[in-house]
Amino acid sequence: MRIQEPSVISPVIIPRAEHNISRSRISENALKVLYRLKTGGYESYLVGGGVRDLLLGREPKDFDVATNARPEEVHALFRNCRVIGRRFRLAHVQFGREIVEVATFRANRPVDDRDVHSNDVTGRLLRDNTYGTLEEDAFRRDFSVNALYYDIRDFSVRDYVGGLPDLKAGVLRLIGDPETRYREDPVRMLRAARFAAKLGFRIHPDTAAPIARLVPLLAGVPAARLFEEILKLFLYGFAQQAYQQLRQYGLFGHLFPRSHTVLNTEAQGFPHVFISRALANTDARVLEDKPVTPTFLFAALLWEPVRQQADTLAAQGTPAAEALRRAADEVVSEQIGQVALPRRFAAPMVEIYQMQARFLQREGKRPQRLLAHPRFRAAYDFMMLRAEAGEVDPELAAWWTRIQEAGHVEQPVTPMVGEARPAGRRRRSRRRRRHKVSQPA
Ligand code: ATP
Ligand code: MG
């Protein structure tokens, strides 16, 4: 595939005075790497999300560097450097918790014209470790806004692919022929949804058009890579938008097939409310710098299929708790196969599900035991979301909130021997109770 011969392309160069990237906004470590490469006699540029986000006035997640130095040469310049990757080798320069990724310019072309094995039958790129020039490096990147280079020599920005006008217009556009680029790497479809969600950008119609048709290509992507992408989609503060994008482009169904099927049979209603509450909750936690876990996220996204399957089993006569356990095992195992959800996240998910049945049991010592469970807090938060979505009796939710806050069960809920439950208490209007408990929220 050729978009245009890279050798004939001259970049648009935006001098320092005409853009807003200030060195004070680039991490000191990234600057160190850029300068040391430069002093070592190499070209070095900041590239990718770092440049894009700085131009947008956002704080970059991390800083990527592109250079004409080979990974071994980068390694020779930095003591704190590891060369990683088999398919394409990269240098990671480590500064405490920060890693600056240094990639040698690469080209999106076969080693030579006889190299017919670099793409598989679907067009997927199997080998892309051919080193190239800066121009070639720009053209092998995914979206035009991700292919802008900040030059440490004169602090200018170089644009080979029309990334700046796209950035100004808020448009995500794949470089080159979209279908070819998706075939080379189907994960680019998920990346389109992710950047659209994160940046609030519009996917250009030509870039969007082939997605629905090419979704099945995701089947050829290693499940572990899908898992990584799911985390990037849902755990960085824009989960609600990411979910909308994934649903809109038909990508959600590949990542969460069971959820997709059951959610499609219900146009609205509490499963939808539940998921949007769960994602809003995740986003709010990220915003407040609170920890978020794949366990809770996956538990929320898979709850509806688990709940429905448990109902089916219960209708066939399986006791409720057992039905929930079996449904959870079944749905979670399937999901593990689909996107390589690691067991350390899957096992606590099943616990969260099972504990949902235990919230109904308020007799005797059971609540106290549940309260002492190491997973209580997560299961409680999960139950509260179900209550918000209208799936759990608000009175039950309020009761658990009280004992959760007190840290112990204040009073037995079962009547003492000889003591009658206050007449009519259970029959009090549901509407009134609901009204009451919604006050503290
Ligand atoms: P962020 O780090 O904010 O999630 P990013 O754009 O930096 O976004 P990374 O995954 O860190 O994304 O990748 C860095 C850069 O590498 C991208 O901006 C893009 O230029 C290039 N890149 C990453 N993945 C691909 C891909 N699958 N195909 C082509 N280019 C890619
Ligand atoms: Mg990045």
pLDDT at 205: 98
DSSP string, 92-127: EEEETTEEEEEEE-B-SS-SSTT-TTSB-TT--BS-
Residues sharing a CB contact under 8 Å with residue 330, sequence separation 6 or more, in sequence order: 309
The answer to whether residue 113 is catalytic is: no
Decide if 399 contacts 360 (C-beta within 8 A): no
pLDDT at 86: 79
pLDDT at 124: 72
Cα(431) to centroid(ligand 1), Å: 51
State the Cα angle at 222 between 216 and 227, rounded to 5°: 95
> How far are the Cα atoms of 246, 360, 434 from residue 421, in angstroms, in the given order?
50, 18, 21
Cα(100) to centroid(ligand 2), Å: 10
- Secondary structure (3-state) at 223: helix
Q: How far is CA 34 from the centre of its chain?
A: 29
pLDDT at 293: 94
Could you list which residues have their CB under 5 Å from ion ligand 2? 49, 62
Ligand 1 pocket mutation, candidates 1, 59, 64, 194, criterion most atoms within 8 A of CB:
64
Show the domains of the chain with their CATH numbers. 1-220 (3.30.460.10), 222-407 (1.10.3090.10)
Token pair recorded at residue 5: 């011969």
Residues sharing a CB contact under 8 Å with residue 188, sequence separation 6 or more, in sequence order: 142, 174, 181, 182
Nearest to 102 by CA among 92, 112, 110, 94: 92
Residue nearest to atom 3 of ligand 1 (CA): 49
Query: Using CB atoms within 10 A of its CB, is residue 208 exposed (0-12), middle (13-18) or buried (19+)?
Result: buried
The answer to whether residue 128 is catalytic is: no
Nearest to 246 by CA among 344, 257, 71: 257
State the Cα angle at 234 between 231 and 236, rounded to 5°: 90
- 0.85 exceeded by pTM: yes
Ligand 1 pocket mutation, candidates 141, 149, 189, criterion most atoms within 8 A of CB:
141
Write the single-letter amino acid at 224: A
Distance CA 54, CA 19 (A): 10
Cα(428) to centroid(ligand 1), Å: 57
Nearest to 142 by CA among 166, 117, 120: 166
Q: Which segments of 288-415 does DSSP mark as H helices, in order? A: 294-315, 320-339, 343-358, 366-371, 376-388, 394-406
DSSP state of 8: G
90-95/81-84 β-pairing: antiparallel
Cα(183) to centroid(ligand 2), Å: 22
β-partners of residue 91 are 83, 102
Q: Which one of the ligands is nearest to 147 CA?
A: 1
Nearest to 1 by CA among 180, 146, 138: 180
Decide if 43 contacts 27 (C-beta within 8 A): no
Ligand 1 pocket mutation, candidates 67, 108, 129, 146, criterion most atoms within 8 A of CB:
146
Length of the chain: 441
DSSP state of 237: S
Q: Consecutive sets of 10 residues in the chain, 441 residues long: mean pLDDT of each? A: 58 97 97 98 98 97 96 96 89 96 88 55 67 95 98 98 98 98 97 98 98 97 96 98 97 96 79 93 96 96 96 95 95 94 95 95 93 95 94 96 84 47 41 36 28
Decide if 157 contacts 13 (C-beta within 8 A): yes
